[in-house]
């Protein structure tokens, strides 16, 4: 299993029946693949659809139905289309059960930085600030390190996305829960030791007596 | 409603230096024929208020490539490297706004509100220079209204009095922008007789629309 | 012609082609009768319809389509139904061309009082404060006097509806235009003399050299 | 969506003293069966947030007559003399709010905004005790969000996942209230299979609705 699939499958376990869930572009969007239809989950794309479905059959794409990255999608039965005001009203108003976003850094306070690398990359925050501020639960799905540097840091050096402490960080090495007493290491990826995680993590971790391996079905 | 315009006539109505709200999300729901006409007439110095600048060669991306734009107010420009390049070189002045805040600012402009209080952007760069207002012990950013000289709207159906309906995710920013342009020009995919769009399916009442673009022929 | 019909017919002359117009409950609602369909005017009822039509044929009333007083109405072709947020967005945002309201008092500053008689009648302001604040043009349609007392007063003694100076007052005796230099008497009702108007008016009036009689077609 | 309730079950869910947003405008679009059940169970001490209190014997008027209501937040009570009488006698505490402000306060509550700035009510009794905020040289009232324990929604069609559509002027406050109730109970006129309401006709996405009322039989 590659790193991205591992992360996506672990994040999928966080999703509860009937939830409204927003998945960011890229890695987070892979999570949908691992959520059973029987859960009755509705995926939201912030460009205006509740009930995002899989890629449409070849030749049946409609240019009026895309995800937030502009890619063709389908809609599940019971889908609703909404304008941007309603879309962000749902997000800001706490009606979104969970958002899954990528990250550049998460720090010991649980703050996320994911929208700007000053002088290098200034894509804009898109919906990220609203999503992190408003969603009932914020899950960050990202690689543990980039180019050898830990993305779990003592204090974010990149511009913050929001003041709000994220609820869970899932990486290719670990599941980490930011709390008021710091970053608690909750799970190890299969075959990964506590030492591996400590070595790859710049931030201080709170390590409980028992840190089980992720269970991936 | 003052009647139907050719794309060329619409482009003539819009002077260099005008501010434009342009509907669409990654070019989905963007009025492409109006953009082509603006590029063809060599428009210059435009301010564009939109969710994003699409990609080069699509939607607002064409205006960016043509050098028609002096200023952008958007939530995301990350998928158009030309916009990023022109921002870094100083050719385009770029204000990045959280997506949910952007849509509320446009709505406030269109609906006569003096502003809205939002938690999105608190304690981030977005807070810089803004008034912070406390309500019932919680802090919010005061975000001010946006209006524009023109709103360019991409719609699905229009009827002869300018009522508009939209399809799926091609709706996005279009309905709020139709409230906030001093002159509103809509580019529908088809124009149908009055009565064909049922009252409950009208998302933009015709009283808001100044001009329709003639059909594509 | 009775007083109410006279007022309604005179107010109807203020309506321009293509306008969006809100008519209050009672006397103002009679104005619609005197506006020719050829003007292409859309009447708005603030409970949520643009394109209010006449009373429906007997036996064809629908309980989902009423005016702001709860009375059955029909809708014209090209009508749109909107929710209360959109309805008041149109009103507050300046998209309403004209509102016609009843009044309890209008004073020399052009201020209107029409929603409360402290200790006696406290019906609530309904939409009146938004309408008077936001409509492009505010016309007050009322009897010149009530129980022998002038309703055109030096200064409102009843609670104000809004800070905004109304644009025109049409009564059974006169047409009066509130301006920065006071209440200008513009027209006399048929057969009514300047003396009659002066005697019936508690407020000071600015009386031009020529005050023609209303022309009622 | 947690499933369908009988009116009696819905009334049991709602404790004495609860705050309720109730959709409808002069009883048009008001969930009458839920109101009947609340009256039948002898509910007491309710706070009702609604546009108006209808007339005695209709919609919210039944709750007023039954003595179920301790507090009303509304824009207009003028057509219900019982509400006026009980307000004057002190039995009901009544907060009167301009209609456009009321709908924006509910929307702000539902959409996670800390408040909105409106010009309506400036320099009137409505200003008393409120924060005045200046934006670009203009003064506005800061109006704060409203939420409620329950939102009781009158709809036209619902599908099995709770998506709602409305008819004509029976829409009014219902869609915004469905955002602002901590528990949302909808009373549709009919319940149809998933897929019968097209995505573009859904005005309230099912993710907002906690319970539907069973059909009237």
Is there a contact between D140 and B115 if contact means CB atoms under 8 Å apart? yes
Determine the pLDDT at residue C121.
Answer: 82
Q: How many CB pairs under 8 A join B and D?
A: 75
Q: Which residue of D has its CA nearest to C62?
A: D168
Which among D114, D138, D167 has CB closest to B117? D114
More confident site: C205 or C120: C205
In degrees to the nearest 10, what's the CA dihedral of A181, A185, A186, A192? 180
Q: What is the mean pLDDT of residues A69-77?
A: 93
pLDDT tens per residue, range C145-165: 999 999 999 999 999 999 999
Determine the pLDDT at residue B186.
Answer: 98
Q: Which residue of B has its CA nearest to A65?
A: B169
Residue D30 within any structural domain of the chain: yes
- DSSP letters of B20-52? EEE--BTTBT--HHHHHHHHHTT--SEEEESSB
Is there a contact between B199 and C80 if contact means CB atoms under 8 Å apart? yes
Chain centre distance of CA A117 = 19
Residue D155 within any structural domain of the chain: yes
Is there a contact between A95 and D207 if contact means CB atoms under 8 Å apart? yes
Pick among C47, C113, C132 to test the D interface (most D CBs inside 10 A)? C47
Which among D52, D100, D169 has CB closest to C92? D100
- In what side-by-side order are the strands of the sheet with C20-23? C74-81, C49-53, C42-45, C20-23, C98-101, C138-141, C168-170, C174-179, C182-188, C205-206
Residue pointed to by tokens 């945002």: C93
> Is residue D169 within 8 Å of residue C81, measured between CB atoms?
yes
- Long-range contacts of range C114-121, CB-CB < 8 Å, 24 or more positions apart? C114/C140, C114/C161, C115/C159, C115/C161, C116/C158, C116/C159, C116/D125, C117/C158, C118/C158, C118/C159, C121/D78, C121/D84
For the cut 70, the answer to whether the pLDDT of residue A44 exceeds it is yes
Kindly state whether C22 is in contact with chain D, defined as any CB-CB distance less than 8 angstroms.
no
Kindly state whether A160 is in contact with chain B, defined as any CB-CB distance less than 8 angstroms.
yes
Is there a contact between A163 and B123 if contact means CB atoms under 8 Å apart? yes
CA distance A168 to B105: 31
In degrees to the nearest 10, what's the CA dihedral of D157, D162, D163, D165? 30
CA distance D190 to D188: 5
Residue D81 within any structural domain of the chain: yes
Which among A81, A123, A162 has CB closest to B169? A81
To the nearest whole number, what is the mean pLDDT of chain A? 95
Start-end of H helices in chain C: 3-12, 84-92, 128-134, 194-200
Determine the pLDDT at residue D1.
Answer: 66
**CB atoms inside a 10 Å sphere around CB A205:** 18
Q: What is the mean pLDDT of residues A50-77?
A: 94
Q: How far is CA A133 from CA A123, A164, D124, D208, in A?
A: 19, 6, 36, 19
CA distance D118 to D108: 13
Which among B114, B131, B135 has CB closest to D119? B114
Residues of D in contact with A81 (CB under 8 A): 199-200, 202
Is there a contact between D115 and B114 if contact means CB atoms under 8 Å apart? no
CA distance B44 to B47: 9
Residue D135 within any structural domain of the chain: no
CA distance D164 to D176: 12
> Is residue D88 within 8 Å of residue C69, measured between CB atoms?
no
- Number of residues that this document lists for chain B: 217
Is there a contact between D114 and B119 if contact means CB atoms under 8 Å apart? yes
Q: Please pick, among C5, C14, C46, C61, the residue that the annotation labels catalytic.
A: C46
Nearest to A91 by CA among A132, A140, A135: A135
Q: Please pick, among A14, A46, A108, A187, the residue that the annotation labels catalytic.
A: A46
pLDDT tens per residue, range A188-197: 999 999 999 9
CA distance D21 to D153: 8
For the cut 90, the answer to whether the pLDDT of residue C73 exceeds it is yes
pLDDT tens per residue, range C28-46: 989 999 999 888 899 999 9
Q: What is the mean pLDDT of residues D78-83?
A: 94
Q: Residues with Cβ < 8 Å from C33, sequence gap 6 or more?
A: C8, C12
B125 pLDDT band, cuts 50/70/90, is very high
Taking only residues 33 to 92 of chain B, the set having a beta carbon closer than 8 angstroms to any beta carbon of chain D reads none
The CA distance from C161 to the nearest CA of chain D, in Å, is 7
Kindly state whether C164 is in contact with chain B, defined as any CB-CB distance less than 8 angstroms.
no
**CB atoms inside a 10 Å sphere around CB B152:** 30
**CB atoms inside a 10 Å sphere around CB B132:** 12
For the cut 90, the answer to whether the pLDDT of residue C19 exceeds it is yes
Is there a contact between B98 and A125 if contact means CB atoms under 8 Å apart? yes
Enumerate helices (H) and strands (E) in chain A, giving the number of each: 4, 15
C12 pLDDT band, cuts 50/70/90, is very high
Residue D195 within any structural domain of the chain: yes
Determine the pLDDT at residue B45.
Answer: 98
Is there a contact between A95 and D179 if contact means CB atoms under 8 Å apart? yes
Is there a contact between C18 and B160 if contact means CB atoms under 8 Å apart? no
Query: Roughly what angle, to the nearest 10 degrees, separates helices C84-92 and D99-111?
Result: 120
Residue D89 within any structural domain of the chain: yes
Residues of A in contact with D207 (CB under 8 A): 20, 42, 50, 90, 95
Residues of A in contact with D113 (CB under 8 A): 92
Pick among B130, B145, B147, B200 to test the D interface (most D CBs inside 10 A)? B200
Q: Which residue of D has its CA nearest to B101?
A: D113
Q: Which residue of D has its CA nearest to A94?
A: D112
A216 pLDDT band, cuts 50/70/90, is confident
Nearest to B92 by CA among B59, B58, B68, B61: B68
Q: Residues with Cβ < 8 Å from A36, sequence gap 6 or more?
A: none
pLDDT tens per residue, range A138-181: 999 999 999 999 999 999 999 999 999 999 999 999 999 999 99
C217 pLDDT band, cuts 50/70/90, is confident
> Is residue A207 within 8 Å of residue A1, measured between CB atoms?
no
The CA distance from A94 to the nearest CA of chain D, in Å, is 7
Tokens of C151: 């309703």
For the cut 70, the answer to whether the pLDDT of residue C172 exceeds it is yes
Residues of B in contact with C40 (CB under 8 A): 161
Determine the pLDDT at residue B1.
Answer: 67
Tokens of A89: 């009203």
Pick among B117, B119, B129, B174 to test the D interface (most D CBs inside 10 A)? B117
Q: Which residue of D has its CA nearest to B139?
A: D114
Is there a contact between A90 and D159 if contact means CB atoms under 8 Å apart? no
Q: Residues with Cβ < 8 Å from C64, sequence gap 6 or more?
A: D28, D29, D156, D167, D168, D169, D170
The CA distance from D55 to the nearest CA of chain B, in Å, is 27
Is there a contact between B163 and C80 if contact means CB atoms under 8 Å apart? yes
For the cut 70, the answer to whether the pLDDT of residue D109 exceeds it is yes
Residue D163 within any structural domain of the chain: yes
> Is residue C68 within 8 Å of residue C25, measured between CB atoms?
yes
- The domain in which residue D64 lies consists of 4-99+145-213
How many separate domains does chain D show?
Answer: 1
Between β-strands A98-101 and A20-23, what pairing exists: parallel, antiparallel or unpaired?
parallel
CA distance C83 to D170: 9
Which among C42, C49, C89 has CB closest to B110? C89
CATH of the domain at B65: 3.40.1080.10
To the nearest whole number, what is the mean pLDDT of chain C? 95
- DSSP letters of A79-97? EEE--HHHHHHHHHTT--S
C119 pLDDT band, cuts 50/70/90, is confident
Kindly state whether B113 is in contact with chain D, defined as any CB-CB distance less than 8 angstroms.
yes
CA distance B175 to A64: 15
pLDDT tens per residue, range D17-55: 999 999 999 999 999 999 999 999 999 999 999 999 999
Q: Is A61 a catalytic residue?
A: no
Q: Which chains touch B (3 or more CB pairs under 8 A)?
A: A, C, D
The H or E element spanning position D109 is helix D99-111
Determine the pLDDT at residue A119.
Answer: 82
The CA distance from D12 to the nearest CA of chain B, in Å, is 31
Between β-strands B115-118 and B138-143, what pairing exists: parallel, antiparallel or unpaired?
antiparallel
Q: How many CB pairs under 8 A join A and D?
A: 55
CA distance D69 to D94: 10
Pick among B53, B55, B82, B99 to test the A interface (most A CBs inside 10 A)? B99
Taking only residues 48 to 67 of chain A, the set having a beta carbon closer than 8 angstroms to any beta carbon of chain D reads 49-51
For the cut 80, the answer to whether the pLDDT of residue D217 exceeds it is no
Structural domains present in chain C: 3-206 (3.40.1080.10)
Q: Which chains touch C (3 or more CB pairs under 8 A)?
A: B, D
More confident site: B100 or A69: B100
Q: Which residue of A has its CA nearest to D112?
A: A93
Residue B178 within any structural domain of the chain: yes
CA distance D186 to A66: 30
D122 pLDDT band, cuts 50/70/90, is very high
* pTM attached to this predicted model: 0.97
For the cut 80, the answer to whether the pLDDT of residue C13 exceeds it is yes
């Amino acid at each position: 299993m590659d790193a991205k699939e591992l992360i996506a499958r672990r994040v999928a376990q966080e999703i509860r029946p009937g939830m409204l869930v927003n998945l960011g572009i890229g890695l987070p969007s892979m999570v949908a693949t691992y959520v059973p239809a029987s859960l009755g989950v509705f995926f939201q794309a912030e460009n205006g659809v509740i009930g995002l479905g899989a890629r449409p059959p070849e030749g049946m794409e409609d240019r009026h139905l895309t995800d937030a990255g502009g890619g063709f999608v389908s809609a599940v039965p019971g889908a609703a289309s909404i304008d941007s005001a309603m879309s962000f009203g749902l997000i800001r108003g706490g009606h979104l059960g969970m958002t899954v976003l990528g990250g550049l850094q998460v720090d010991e306070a649980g703050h996320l930085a994911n929208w700007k690398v000053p002088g290098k990359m200034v894509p804009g925050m898109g919906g990220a600030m609203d999503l992190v501020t408003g969603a009932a639960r914020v899950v960050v799905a990202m690689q543990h390190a980039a180019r050898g540097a830990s993305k779990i840091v003592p204090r974010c050096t990149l511009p913050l996305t929001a003041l709000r402490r994220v609820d869970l960080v899932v990486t290719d090495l670990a599941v980490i829960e930011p709390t008021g007493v710091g970053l608690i290491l909750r799970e190890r990826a299969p075959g990964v030791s506590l030492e591996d995680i400590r070595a790859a993590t710049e931030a201080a971790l709170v390590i409980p007596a028992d840190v089980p391996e992720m269970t991936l079905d | 409603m003052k009647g139907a315009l050719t794309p060329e006539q619409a482009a003539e109505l819009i002077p260099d230096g005008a501010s434009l709200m342009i509907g669409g999300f990654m070019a989905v729901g963007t009025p492409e024929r109006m953009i082509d006409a603006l590029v063809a007439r060599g428009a210059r110095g435009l301010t564009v208020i939109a969710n994003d600048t699409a990609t080069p060669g699509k939607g607002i991306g064409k205006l960016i490539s043509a050098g028609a734009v002096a200023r952008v107010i958007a939530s995301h420009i990350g998928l158009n490297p030309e916009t990023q390049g022109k921002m870094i070189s100083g050719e385009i002045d770029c204000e990045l706004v959280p997506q949910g805040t952007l849509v509320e600012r446009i709505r406030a402009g269109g609906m006569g509100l003096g502003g809205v209080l939002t938690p999105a952007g608190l304690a981030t760069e977005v807070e810089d220079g803004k008034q912070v207002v406390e309500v019932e012990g919680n802090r919010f950013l005061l975000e001010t209204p946006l209006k524009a000289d023109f709103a360019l709207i991409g719609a699905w159906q229009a009827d002869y009095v300018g009522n508009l309906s939209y399809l799926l995710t091609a709706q996005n920013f279009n309905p709020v922008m139709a409230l906030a342009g001093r002159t509103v020009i809509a580019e529908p995919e088809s124009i149908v007789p009055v009565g064909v769009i049922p009252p409950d399916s009208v998302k933009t009442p015709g009283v808001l629309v100044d001009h329709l673009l003639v059909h594509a022929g």
